Structure 1
């Protein structure tokens, strides 16, 4: 069985942290940050970002909202509800969307996190 992974984006700090626990009873997200310290957030204070289940060509995990680049072309990873798949949304032309697997296969790699 595959492990489900998430990151949490802190809107105030403009930072992304590894999620180690989610408590639906308490509406809390527990993260690791700054050298392994633990922090607790209310659900309203962070955006939960799922792992796509894929790695780029540098073996880096890809999460929703990650930026993929190849040269000067950039895509933001998003989930396409209609097609039930992760896609890359072109940063300069948001109507251009490509399946995430296609971007990986053509050499795009994660540039943030």
Structure 2
């Protein structure tokens, strides 16, 4: 699997897929218009890796996403001991992506939310 990332821009409060990561310059280049070339410094970006897993609706799951499990619980997707939990334990038909911790912070207060 080729690693795929997205980034939360902490200044613009926007999520974007990442096109290029330049570690030596500590910057991320998101997919934007080819006319406007913009980068986000590491200090202003939160990188999230794709799990390589898709939910029951075909949506790609990334770190930081919140999934609704078949039990009804809302759980955050986290990298823990080299595995993306909880999605590494279940068939993709057992959960659906409902949002992420940055664009949908209200889900963190939902009565069904569990820290995991």
Report if TM-score (shorter chain) is over 0.5.
yes
**For residue 73 of structure 2, what is the aligned residue in structure 1?**
73
Cα separation, partners in 2 of 1:13 and 1:101, compared to 1, 3 Å: farther
In terms of fraction of residues, the more strand-rich structure is: 1
Deviation beyond 6 Å, 4+ runs, structure 1: none
TM-score (norm. length: structure 1): 0.72
Range 70-79 or range 22-31, more displaced? 70-79
> Structure 2 residue aligned with 1:112, among 91, 99, 112?
99
* Between structures 1 and 2, the one with greater helix share: 2
Where structure 1 has 5 or more consecutive residues not aligned to the other structure, the ranges are 89-98
RMSD, matched Cα: 2.4
8 Å Cα contact 1:77/1:100 also seen in 2: no
User: What displacement does 1:25 show?
Assistant: 1.7
The whole-number CA distance in structure 1 between the counterparts of 2:57 and 2:38 is 29
Which sections of structure 2, spanning at least 5 residues, go unmatched? 101-116
Q: Does 1:85 align with 2:83?
A: yes
Say which SS state the counterpart of residue 7 (structure 1) adopts.
Answer: strand
Q: Tell me the TM-score normalised to structure 2 length.
A: 0.70
How many residues are aligned here? 98
Provide the rounded CA distance (Å) in 2 between the counterparts of 1:76 and 1:110.
Answer: 10
